[in-house]
Amino acid sequence: MKTNQSTTLQFAICVENSEYPASLELLKVYQVIPDKEAEQTNDLRVIDESGEDYLFPADYFVLINLPTDAAQTLHQSFRQAVQPAR
C-alpha cells in the first residue's frame, strides 16, 4: 500500500538568517522535519545547508503548502542533494 507522503512533507521559505548566515540562505526553500517539542518552544526543525536537521527560530521561516506532486518532487530533490557522491 502506498502511503500519502504529502501529509508528512512540509516546507518553509527562509525569511531571516541574521544569526545563522552560514546555515540558512534567505528566500530558499527548506524541508521541515516534524518536531512537536520544538514547536512548543517556537522553533522549527529544518534540514539546513549542511544537510543535517537543526532547530531554528520558527519566525525565521514562512511555512508553505505545496501540491502533492510538487512536495514529492522537492523531497526527492533534497534527498538526492544530500546523498554522498559515488
pLDDT digits (tens, 9 = 90+) for 32-52: 999 999 999 999 999 998 889
How far, in Å, CA of 41 to CA of 35, rounded? Answer: 11
As a whole-number percent, the residues of the chain with pLDDT over 90 amount to 64
Confirm if 56 and 24 have CB atoms less than 8 A apart.
yes
Confirm if 29 and 11 have CB atoms less than 8 A apart.
yes
Nearest CA to 32 out of 83, 66, 69, 80 is that of 66
The CATH code belonging to domain 5-82 is 2.30.30
Residues (pLDDT < 70) of the chain are: 1-7, 82-86
* DSSP letter assigned to residue 19: T
